[in-house]
Amino acid sequence: MNLFENSRQVTVLGAGMVGVSCALALQSKGWRVTLIDRRAPGEETSSGNAGVLSRSSLLPFNRPGFLQSLPSLLLNSGPSLQVRASALAQWQWMWRFLWHSKHSSFEVTTRALDALIQLSSATHKAWTAQASSHMYLQHRWRDTGWLWLYPHETAFAGSAFSREILKEFSVATEVLNANELQMLEPHLAPIFSHAIWIKDAASVDNPGAVVKAYAQEFVRAGGEIRIDEAKAISQQPVGWQWRNQDGKVHWAPNLVVAMGPWSETLLKDSQLPSTLKVHMGFERGYHRHFKPAPGVGLDRPIYDMASAYVLSPMQNDQGESMFRLTTGIELADRDSKPNLNQLENAENAVRRVLALKETMENSNWLGSRPTTPDSRPVIGEMPNCPGLWLAFGHQHIGFSTGPGTGVLLSELMSGEATSIDPHPFKPERF
């Protein structure tokens, strides 16, 4: 095998939305790709999200005004944010997260995320159209946007800053009054005075199934998927070595670390020529599934801004219609035991809004979404580690940013001009 062929081999560690996207994008540029994960594609953090792809996700949680509201958030943990004691171990991340809520950092983050989201949206559409199972994939997509719901005038007035930013970025929105909302979603209880219809948004009825379909396309085109778990990596005279949980070692000319909330731990547990001090935090989130009441439905996901839940109409792997309820943010250590209080409160709130039947058995889920201090993912080559590439830290918007991440990383690795500015995502910033 000649040197060029060798240089175009890569192993991607992590088979969630981001890892699968990196594998697909690299494969399209002629790379020979092996995809590694301890579970099948899309079965970890990528399986539990609300299935929304929206330009409104350009707004990070740490935005101007966040510092002033923090004391009340900490003292009165509510549905949008709950802070557990284990989160205090992430104090370095929390301090830097607050620091990045200033206007200058916020402006860089919003522009970078918007570019990445738009690139991801275009890539999702291209991959869906190209897939051999495109009809299966296309029926999962809804281009009906999503709704932000407000119970009273005061709550709606509090959204002024977000609306101003969305207008600045020309995100298509429409403000609805109570009657207009009822006409759009007639099965909602008439308890909301205002709504914002985010029209620059799409959603899917089963995000985990979309990741799996992309992975199947990767395999169909000659890619390889292995069930294994990387525990440490090390640089070799040529290429990289990764060790699994049994101590067995594997070699690869190039490595991509796309292991979501486990990425920084892998780097810390490895012997590397340089240190990356991201100090990630974890925006943990829960979900629960419900059977719909007869004749009751939604045409798009809804986001109750007061109770901080998202309710999405979905379909499970057996083809049954259902609703997925996802909660606000819980700041805690990645591996802390679940605390269902936030989920129970969200269920109490949503049952006042829409008629739901019983909870679906064994549907409680918890995921740890990895968040960098500036709310921007890490995309690029590890400093002083040629051939080691990073793609992690996508907070709770990996579905909206994963495909764009794959495209950007494949362009960087192939030495090509990039579709968007890579500098806001560079590992060197840490």
Contacts of 88 (CB under 8 A, 6+ apart): none
CA separation (Å) from 250 to 109, 265, 351, 410, 411?
37, 19, 51, 22, 26
pLDDT score for 191: 97
Distance CA 24, CA 380 (A): 17
Q: Which domains does the chain have, with CATH numbers?
A: 65-91+141-203+280-371 (3.30.9.10)
Q: What is the pTM of this model?
A: 0.95
Tell me: the pLDDT tens digits for 102-112? 999 999 999 99
Cα dihedral 193/197/198/202 (nearest 10):
130
pLDDT score for 217: 95
φ, ψ of residue 345 to 5 degrees: the values are -65, -40
Task: Give percent above pLDDT 70 in the chain.
Answer: 96
Contacts of 286 (CB under 8 A, 6+ apart): 326, 327, 330, 338, 340, 342, 343, 346, 364, 365, 366, 367
Tell me: the pLDDT tens digits for 70-105? 666 565 567 888 888 888 888 899 899 999 999 999
Mean pLDDT per segment of 10 residues, for the chain of length 430 residues? 64 98 98 97 90 96 80 66 85 91 96 98 94 80 97 95 97 98 98 97 95 95 97 94 95 97 94 87 95 95 96 92 95 93 95 96 94 97 96 96 98 98 96
Amino acid type, 127:
W
